[in-house]
Amino acid sequence: MMNRSIIFFDIDGTLLNHDKKLPLSTKESIFKLKELGHEVAIATGRAPFMFEDLRKELDINTYVSYNGQYVVLKGEELYRNPLNISSLEKLTEAALHNNHPVVFMDHEDMRANVPEHTYITESIATLKIGRFPTHDPHYYKGRELFQTLLFCPEREEKQYEQEFHDFDFVRWHPVSVDVLPKGGSKAQGIKKIVERLGIHPERQYAFGDGLNDMEMLSTVQNSVAMGNAEEKVKSVAKYETKSVEENGIFHGLQMVGLL
C-alpha cells in the first residue's frame, strides 16, 4: 500500500478517557484505520502487562512501552533499553532514606521495595489495572529493568535529578514520577519501529496528551495533541483535536485526513 501510514496512540487521556474506558468512537476508528491498511501502534509509559487487555481488544501487537524503553513490533521484541542497575541501587538507597518508596519494573512484573505505602496505593489505583506491586526489595538484582517509579510529592524529585544523571524523571501523578534511562523517550522507541518498517516521516502520526508525550509530539511529523492536554503539550504538537471525552480520536483522525 503506497499510502500506508503508521499512527501511534498514547493510552491514558488519549485512547482511554478519565474513567479508563475506551470510547466506542475510538474503537471503531482504530479498526477502520486497519481496514484501510494503516499500521496502528501504542506508545505509552505503561508496562506491557498494564495494557494487555487493551491490546487484545484493539488487536494491536506493535507497541512502545515504558516511554520507549521496551519496544515490540508485530508481537516480536525489537528494542530494549534497561536502567543502569548500579545507579538505580544508589537511587533506591537515597529514596529509602527520604521515605520515598520505589517500584521496580521489567517487561513482566513490578515489585516494591517496601511492603506498603499510601503513595503507591494512591497512584497505582488511578490506572485501574486491577493489580498492585508485591514486595521484593531485591527485584532489581540480576534482571533488566526498564522503568522505576519513584514516589514523592511534586518538586521533591529535583534532588534526585541533581544527583542521578543516568536517569530522566518524568512526573505522571502528584506523588509519583517515572524514572527512565537518560535520553530515553517514546520518540526513540518510535524511531526503532519506523526505521524497521521503512515508513517515511510524512506518513507518521502520533496522538497524546501528557508530559511524557512531548518529545513524541515534537518529533513525529504529524502530531496531534488531545483537547484535554496541558497547554505546553499542545504547544509542541502540529494539530489539536477535541478532548478524549468528546470523541477526540475520531475527530483528530478526520482532521488529518486518515478517516
d(CA 215, CA 143): 28
Question: For residue 105, what pLDDT is reported?
Answer: 97
* Whole-prediction pTM: 0.91
Catalytic residue at 10?
Answer: yes
Return the beta strands (E) in the chain as ranges: 6-9, 39-43, 63-65, 70-73, 76-80, 102-105, 110-112, 134-135, 147-150, 167-173, 176-181, 204-208, 222-225, 239-240
* Residue 45: C-alpha distances to residues 88, 151, 257 (Å): 19, 16, 27
Distance CA 72, CA 43 (A): 10
CATH topology of domain 6-80+184-255: Rossmann fold (3.40.50)
- Nearest 5°: phi and psi at 62? -125, 125
Helices and strands of the chain, counted as H and E runs? 9, 14
Partnered with residue 77 across adjacent β-strands are 72
Are 70 and 78 spatial neighbours (Cβ–Cβ below 8 Å)?
no
pLDDT of amino acid 2: 59
Catalytic residue (one of 10, 106, 178, 213): 10
Please give the chain's pLDDT, 259 residues, in tens.
Answer: 558 999 999 999 999 999 999 999 999 999 999 999 999 999 999 999 999 999 999 999 999 999 999 999 999 999 999 999 999 999 999 999 999 999 999 999 999 999 999 999 999 999 999 899 999 999 999 999 999 999 999 999 999 999 999 999 988 999 999 999 999 899 999 999 999 999 999 999 999 999 899 999 999 999 999 999 999 999 999 999 999 999 999 999 999 999 9
Domain ranges of the chain: 6-80+184-255, 85-181
Q: Top-level CATH class of 85-181?
A: alpha beta
Cβ neighbours, 10 Å, residue 8: 29
CB 59 within 8 A of CB 27: no
